[in-house]
Chain A
Amino acid sequence: MLNKYPLWKYLLLGFIVLFTLVYAAPNLYAEDPAVQVSATRGAKVELSTLDKVQDILKQVNISPKSTVLENGQILVRLSSSEDQLIARETISAQIGDGFVTALNLAPSTPAWLEAIGGGPLKLGLDLRGGVHFLMEVDMDEAISKEQDQMVQDLRAELREQKIRFRGIEKASTETGVILRFTSQEILDSAIDYLKPINPGFVFSEKENNGAFYLTISMTEQKLKSAKEDALQQNLSILRNRVNELGVAEPLVQRQGVDRIVVELPGIQDTARAKEILGATATLEFHPVDSETDLSDALAGRIPASSILYKERDGTPVVIKKKIILTGNHIVDAQSSADEYGRAQVNISLDSKGGSKMSRFTKDNIGKPMATLFIEYLPTGKKKANGKSETKKRIEVANVATIQAQLGRSFRITGLDNTAEAHNLALLLRAGALTAPIQIVEERTIGPSLGQQNIDNGMKAMIYGLLAVVIFMFIYYRKFGAVANTALILNIVMIVGLMSMIPGATLTLPGIAGIVLTIGMAVDANVLIFERIREELHAGKSVQRAINEGYANAFSTIADANITTFITAVILFAVGTGSIKGFAVTLAIGILTSMFTSIFGTRAIVNALWGGRNDIKKLSI
């Protein structure tokens, strides 16, 4: 029979609709104002911390909706945003060092929805307010530092071998160095010696006016990995610093070969954020003071030449103020495993650092040495001269016993696990030569504008929808009502899919994309309905007209939508940030509108009018 769908098609439609409906549902639940407490380095959120937070809240007579400890964070849900502000202030004042508090909006998605991965739409920064930074690693500078390092290394290596060279300098055209020799023989012996110990470099020689030049330059691969290292290093430093800021759900992500995106939702004070992200870090090696008794030190009896610090796990350690070596002598640090599979970190120093280390360790074999990680973080206050006041934050990254006289490369062993080794290597590199980083784009949206963007977008959507719905109903009557049902279903599906897809965020242009989709989505139904009318005019029966209207319009709809889809994909590929948001909603909107306006309306039309011989006229 014409225009009858088999049961399975209705079941499929019902299933898909229900599926997207369920995933769109979390957007109906309001968000709770919340305070989030997390630990920075050197501290850990434990059950006792949870008790403490609850006590603090009791003191100021705030009864939270819930307090939970999950993923190493405490989330306190509150009933009002006034409570939220008071709670944050008191908690951050009383919780002590090592913890950061952040304001957050916690989705109140019911547990069963959360269990199947449901959650509300993720809003872009232009809707929720916050800062977006695009940072660029200065690769020229990174490579230039790498070249400086090569000059130092090669000079030391050749001197050690007593191979005499007349000059050494950074190459200006290539990424490498140029050495000058007085004879071909010396040059050859230099190549013989250097080539095997310097993989990843290209050696080329040239004679000019009786001088023999040897150019040693990085291979493409070496160059690439040097740049990659510079980026990774900055990425890890930025991640650590962002955690300091006390932001709920920050994002630090690489973009392309030399850029890093940092997104901090809800941050207002961008000046402070910039200072913290741009803070400098250094590293120092100090001897451990083993003569002073730890309990004496804890009681405050400590020699003037020493100072008491805490290790990352909180163990106190007394350290001498004397500096063996500072971090700018570190060339590289990599974590690896030794022959027994134990975690270790291999460190290379420059030649000056190597000789300092060697001089100190010669007389101190068997004694412990500590690695301090020092960051200069802004306090947010200004000094009298207008410069920002900084606070030195010192942390003992590691204490190791000196096993032998150390040189330019040595290793720290006895680490608990590979994760610790990895972290230590990161810290060591962070204190070493870093490629400078620069903010090349900033977009800050205040919370009032964010909310206003949401309100405006919603208003535009509702008015646009109303206009279209009324028009369609007046023009196509009952069929118009069917198209309107499909249109509303379409919006729900877009919201459901956007909520479901991880990484899809709703932005202001994204909302504009949905509004545009509302206007364009009815096109498919207009095409179909006009076609049905034509078939009716041509004298076909009602059932045939419906059937052929749908059949004939299909290829047109498909062609028209595929081309728009192509533009959406291109837009997604080249667009950034909020424009990507537009492309995503446009693409999703095309898919869902094809589904609802062809399959969806057909199902309703078939159910209402399909296969009935008693209908002589259609309400179209």
Chain B
Amino acid sequence: MLELIKSKQTIRFMKYAKPATWLSILLVVISVGSLSTNWINWGLDFTGGTLIEVGFQQPANLEDVRLTLSEADFPDAVVQHFGSSHEVMVRLAPREGVKGEVIGNQVLNALTAGDFGDVDMRRIEFVGPNVGDELAENGGIAIIIALICIMLYVSMRFEWRLAMGSVLALGHDIIITLGVFSLFQIEFDLTVLAALLAVIGYSLNDTIVVFDRIRENFRLIATATPKEIVDQSLTQTLSRTIITSSTTIFVLISLFVVGGALIHGFATALLIGIFVGTYSSIYVASALAINLGISREHMIPEVIEKEGADQDALM
């Protein structure tokens, strides 16, 4: 039998709870700091504007493309390679008084007329400024609704201390993932937003598996302290945590490497989110539940006694 965790000994996770808490606080502070100074490199979906992606026969010289475009009255065009040196992405901010949907074709015409050989139109996107604001607003609302629903579900299934722990862990994961996007100025588009919600789902998945074990162990073992119970539960679920994270990371690396440039942001957000999420289900969610004073009494289901009492009344 191939085993990742051979030791029968319980790993003392909670011994490092304090330094881990400081690490989390540090990461969150750095993230918030970066977010407040750099904010986020919002993609076209949120800022509005026009984006044109074209493919050239030979590797394209960005300087030439810029020159051609500024001659065509687009001096403000942001020109960069996208995916490979044959592909070029041109981005333009929304313009006053000009219909955004026209700009895409104008840029394309300018490039076709330029000295670049065959130009293959790969993608034109135009997003009106209002639409961008709406998407950003809806995205924010989606994340908040998701957090609230999850908090309700976890409180219903577990206990409010655990619910608090899991939701705080989720907040922690989202802030740090956003922080990385802000720090490295990675473009944040709609797929990244979707990935962020998937991170919420994944991270919670992890937390719930641990909490389930904690609840079970509280019921089974009457003598242990909450800390010991948590340590034991984390040890028992550790190999599962590692294996599932690994298989998920496998597929994400595969997506990142061969999935194409359009899906890079998505894969990046999930990769960060899964690292942070795995860590947070151990050190944020569980540690917080201990600090909130989780104990055996909270885990013993009172429901069973109530059921008996109710039955008499019903009969």
Contacts and interface: CB of A to CB of B under 8 A. Distances in A.
B67 interface: no
B150 A620 contact: no
Given A519-B248, A563-B204, A512 B255 contact: yes
Given A444-B104, A460-B255, A582 B194 contact: yes
* Most chain A beta carbons < 10 A, residue from B1, B105, B213, B247: B247
Interface residues of A, number: 74
Nearest to A575: B194
A567 B146 contact: yes
B209 to A, nearest CB: 6
B34 to A, nearest CB: 25
Nearest to B51: A443
B139 interface: yes
Interface in B205-247: 205, 208-209, 212-213, 216, 236-237, 239-240, 243-244, 246-247
Contacts of A515: 251-252, 254-255, 259
A452 B197 contact: no
A534 interface: yes
Nearest to A557: B209
A111 interface: no
Given A274-B101, A556-B212, A564 B135 contact: no
Interface stretch (B19-27, B126-134, B289-297, B300-308): B126-134
B30 to A, nearest CB: 26
B190 A519 contact: no
Interface string B78-112: 00000000000000000000011100110000000
B124 A509 contact: no
Contacts of B130: 440
Contact of B251 (A440, A467, A575, A578): A467
Contacts, number: 223
Contacts of B53: 449
A296 to B, nearest CB: 48
Interface stretch (A1-9, A183-191, A300-308, A525-533): A525-533
Contacts of A440: 127-128, 130-131
Contact of B125 (A443, A464, A513): A443
Interface stretch (B58-66, B180-188, B260-268): B260-268
A221 interface: no
B153 A444 contact: no
Interface in A424-481: 438-446, 448-449, 452-453, 456-457, 459-461, 463-465, 467-468, 471-472, 474-475
A586 interface: yes
Given A441-B126, A441-B131, A530-B240, A571 B255 contact: no
A518 interface: yes
Contacts of A562: 153
A605 to B, nearest CB: 17
Given A509-B194, A516-B270, A579-B190, A530 B239 contact: yes
Contacts of B239: 530
Contacts of B18: none
Given A446-B123, A456-B258, A463-B254, A526 B243 contact: yes
A477 to B, nearest CB: 8
Contacts of A559: 157, 208, 212
Contacts of A563: 150, 153-154, 201, 204-205, 208
B121 to A, nearest CB: 5
Contact of A527 (B100, B154, B209): B209
A571 B142 CA distance: 7
A102 interface: no
* Most chain A beta carbons < 10 A, residue from B2, B236, B239, B263: B263
Contact of B244 (A134, A443, A523, A568): A523
A445 B123 contact: yes
B250 A464 contact: yes
B153 A460 contact: no
A449 B198 contact: no
A398 interface: no
A560 interface: yes
Interface residues of B, number: 73
B105 A464 contact: no
Given A526-B240, A579-B190, A519 B123 contact: no
A266 to B, nearest CB: 13
B43 to A, nearest CB: 13
A106 interface: no
A453 to B, nearest CB: 6
A518 B237 CA distance: 21
B247 A570 contact: no
A520 interface: yes
Interface string A258-278: 000000000010110010000
A467 B259 contact: no
B200 interface: yes
Contacts of B255: 460, 464, 512, 515-516
A568 B142 CA distance: 10
A129 B2 CA distance: 47
Nearest to A467: B250
B36 interface: no
A567 B149 CA distance: 9
A308 to B, nearest CB: 38
B141 interface: yes
B179 interface: no
Nearest to A570: B146
A439 B104 CA distance: 13
Contacts of A448: 55, 120, 122
11 contacts: A126-B262, A440-B131, A444-B124, A449-B55, A467-B247, A475-B2, A512-B191, A516-B252, A559-B157, A559-B212, A563-B201
Interface of B: 1-3, 53, 55, 99-101, 104-105, 120-128, 130-131, 135, 138-139, 141-142, 145-146, 149-150, 153-154, 157, 190-191, 193-194, 197-198, 200-202, 204-205, 208-209, 212-213, 216, 236-237, 239-240, 243-244, 246-252, 254-255, 257-260, 262-263, 266-267, 270
Interface of A: 126, 134, 136, 268, 270-271, 274, 438-446, 448-449, 452-453, 456-457, 459-461, 463-465, 467-468, 471-472, 474-475, 508-509, 512-513, 515-516, 518-520, 522-523, 526-527, 530, 533-534, 552, 555-556, 559-564, 566-568, 570-571, 573-576, 578-579, 582-583, 586, 620
Q: 5 shortest A-B CB distances, which residue pairs?
A: A464-B251, A519-B251, A564-B201, A440-B128, A456-B260
Given A456-B258, A457-B263, A519-B249, 17 more contacts: A126-B262, A440-B127, A440-B128, A441-B131, A442-B125, A448-B55, A456-B260, A464-B254, A475-B2, A530-B240, A562-B153, A563-B205, A566-B146, A570-B146, A574-B141, A574-B145, A575-B142
